[in-house]
Amino acid sequence: MKKRSGFVVMARLIGLVKPLAGFMLLAIFMGLIGHLCAAFITVFGGYAVLGLLEYEVPMSLTVIFVSVLIFALVRGFLRYAEQSCNHFIAFKLLALIRDKVFGALRKLCPAKLEGKDKGNLISVITSDIELLEVFYAHTISPVAIAVLFSGVMCVFIGSFHPVLGLIAILAYVVVGVAIPLVTSKLSGESGMRFRNHSGELSGFVLDSLRGLTEILQYGQGEKRLEQMNRRTDALSEEEERMKRVAGRNMAVTNTAILCFDLMMLFVAAVLMTKAAVDFQGVLIPTLALMSSFGPVVALANLGSTLQNTFAAGNRVLDILEETPVVEEVQGKEHVSFEGAKTENVTFGYKEEVILQDVSLEISKGGIVGIVGRSGSGKSTLLKLFMRFWDVQKGSVKISGKEICGINTRNLRTMEGFMTQETHLFHDSILNNVRIAKLDATREEIVEACKKASVHDFIMSLPRGYDTPVGELGDTLSGGERQRLGLARVFLHDAPFVLLDEPTSNLDSLNEAVILKSLKEEGKDKTVLLVSHRQSTMRIADEIYAVEELSGAGRVS
């Protein structure tokens, strides 16, 4: 995880406000006027007292009372309007950020996301982004409002005597800047630790739910629950430390406000004894200062909560600023499939080399089989043809053109890929198959399912194709999920089909039906087939051992 300072995180998050800058300026203006109205209700109350005591005041009592009434009404309206505007900005930006995050994840997948903690990613997408609402609704405009408001009040108070204006400046700086900075410093990395531990707990719970059957089967429920409770307790302790810092911050802030109010009263009284100000110069500046801490108190309270928010923002920025392993290609000429090959390809994950100097030529039409021991790189070879990763040495070509120079959308259209594990969404069977071709008709989906030998099973269900599958397809067997994965491949109807163990979970009868469909489809398609089953490999026109591909070792 990249470590950024709070100021850097704030600057990056503020940069995302650009599309809604007009609304932000409107919120700041309304907030400024609203806070001035609230403060001057008290100030005008002071003038009313002076008027009743028959001191000379700049306006009549009637004007004062009418003004106070107007200030109260305007304050109420502007407070609502400011909060409404801020929350509109916040929730609109959260939607934009979620869109950006999903866009970034799509570009990072699968290379950068393989092996990532899915629970942690879910925590970033949900709770971390949600926490940014505090920043956008309760931080940016309040900071701007506090600065502008404090400037206006310093000028007003300073108009009675410069020393009183300096006291006001000192008060606002201490309460609105010094205390939040010290609190933030004392909080240290607690916010980041809390967000990381929260993400780890989410991942642990998700992992436990997915493996609930195995946990119960092997009697590990109590141990797993104990681990979960231990993690929860650690998270609670971290949150308690943060709350304790926030409580101390509030106590210090209120103490500082009381001290500055007394200082203003004392200094003004001293100035009055020296005839530097009159009684009005004592009462009005003191009341003005006492009624004007609202905006800076809001900043002081942010000192501890922003640690959590910045930690969440840092985790979101990690995703947004992550560099994809493979960049998408656009703007190139359209390519039609005329065959594929690898030339002296070397590829590995980090330090482990999986494929070494591999060359393979696949002519258009027919079925090519790939065999080899587990971990020899069979699945990796298919992923390189899909350009999930770029090779470290050599080249992968489609129609004589390196795939890194083919439009990504064009490449994905030419290829149909089925992995060993078929992921099913929590949706109907119809929509789960339709993901391979979003504009497919029901008839096309039914035809694809017939080729995958899953149509009869679907029709035996009470709701047929509209039957919902459980989360991750848990309501279906492994063989049923696999056949739906094959139905997607048939529906996609790509000229170059990549199949990774397509029959591993099937019985011999369903395997025979699917192999027959593949053989018939193979007449006008090119199929690259990986399987450990000898029965599956019987349909292949050529079979290669992946360990021997550096020498183009054909088995049959």
The one-letter amino acid code at 291 reads S
Note whether residue 334 is domain-resident: no
**306 and 350 co-located in one domain:** no
Note whether residue 333 is domain-resident: no
Of 546, 110, 555, 528, nearest to 356 (Cα)? 546
Query: What is the distance between the alpha carbons of residues 370 and 265, in angstroms, rounded to a whole number?
Result: 88
347/321: higher pLDDT? 347
Q: Where are the beta strands (DSSP E) in 372-456?
A: 393-398, 401-402, 415-418
Return the pLDDT at 262: 95
Query: What is the distance between the alpha carbons of residues 112 and 381, in angstroms, rounded to a whole number?
Result: 18
**206 and 279 co-located in one domain:** yes
**For residue 555, is pLDDT > 70?**
no
Half-sphere exposure of 261 (CA within 13 A, CB side): 13
Last residue of some domain: 259, 292, 320?
A: 320
Q: Lowest mean pLDDT: which of 26-30, 231-235, 338-342?
A: 231-235
Return the pLDDT at 556: 36
State phi, psi for 504 to the nearest 5 degrees. -65, -30
**273 and 368 co-located in one domain:** no
Which residues neighbour 464 within 8 Å (Cβ) at sequence distance 6 or greater?
Answer: 429, 458
pLDDT band at 304 (very low <50, low <70, confident <90, very high): low
Token code pair at residue 141: 């405009």
Return the pLDDT at 4: 62
Note whether residue 325 is domain-resident: no
**316 and 404 co-located in one domain:** no
pLDDT tens digits, residue range 471-504? 656 678 878 888 898 899 999 989 999 988 888 7
pLDDT tens digits, residue range 389-439? 888 889 999 999 999 899 989 998 999 988 888 888 888 999 999 999 999
pLDDT tens digits, residue range 268-294? 999 999 989 999 999 999 999 999 998
Return the pLDDT at 163: 95
Last residue of some domain: 320, 348, 380?
A: 320
The proportion of the chain whose per-residue pLDDT surpasses 70, expressed as a percent, equals 91
Note whether residue 373 is domain-resident: yes
pLDDT tens digits, residue range 357-371? 888 889 888 888 888
| Strands laid side by side in the 496-500 sheet | 415-418, 496-500, 526-530, 366-371, 542-545
CA distances from 303 to 14, 187, 431 (A): 17, 9, 48
Return the pLDDT at 235: 84
pLDDT band at 350 (very low <50, low <70, confident <90, very high): confident
**For residue 554, is pLDDT > 50?**
no
Q: What is the mean pLDDT of residues 337-344?
A: 90
The overall average pLDDT reported for the chain is: 84
What are residue 428's DSSP bridge partners? Answer: 468
Note whether residue 556 is domain-resident: no
**17 and 138 co-located in one domain:** yes
Most confident of 55-69, 91-105, 188-202: 55-69
**489 and 357 co-located in one domain:** yes
Note whether residue 326 is domain-resident: no
**399 and 495 co-located in one domain:** yes
Alpha helices, H only, 352-507: 378-385, 408-414, 429-434, 442-451, 455-459, 478-492
Note whether residue 328 is domain-resident: no
100/307: higher pLDDT? 100
Return the pLDDT at 242: 77
**362 and 222 co-located in one domain:** no
Token code pair at residue 420: 């060993």
pLDDT band at 2 (very low <50, low <70, confident <90, very high): low
pLDDT tens digits, residue range 11-43? 777 777 788 888 889 999 999 999 999 999 999
Query: What is the distance between the alpha carbons of residues 546 and 306, in angstroms, rounded to a whole number?
Result: 54
**385 and 250 co-located in one domain:** no
Label residue 53 left, alpha or beta by phi (over 0 means left) and psi (-120 to 50 means alpha). alpha
Query: What is the distance between the alpha carbons of residues 521 and 224, in angstroms, rounded to a whole number?
Result: 48
**214 and 299 co-located in one domain:** yes
**What is the distance, to the nearest Å, from the Cα of residue 482 to the centroid of all Cα atoms in its chain?**
31
**309 and 380 co-located in one domain:** no
What are residue 528's DSSP bridge partners? Answer: 368, 498
119/158: higher pLDDT? 158
The one-letter amino acid code at 67 reads S
Q: What is the CATH number of the domain that holds 386?
A: 3.40.50.300
Return the pLDDT at 159: 92
Token code pair at residue 211: 């493996």
**401 and 268 co-located in one domain:** no
Return the pLDDT at 552: 44
Note whether residue 327 is domain-resident: no
For residue 51, give its domain range.
6-320
Q: What is the CATH number of the domain that holds 315?
A: 1.20.1560.10
Task: Give me the helix-helix angle, 442-451 and 508-521, nearest 10°.
Answer: 120
Last residue of some domain: 265, 292, 320?
A: 320
Q: What is the mean pLDDT of residues 187-208?
A: 74
Return the pLDDT at 202: 79
Q: How many domains does the chain have?
A: 2
Which residues neighbour 168 within 8 Å (Cβ) at sequence distance 6 or greater?
Answer: 150, 153, 154, 157, 158, 264, 285, 288, 289, 292
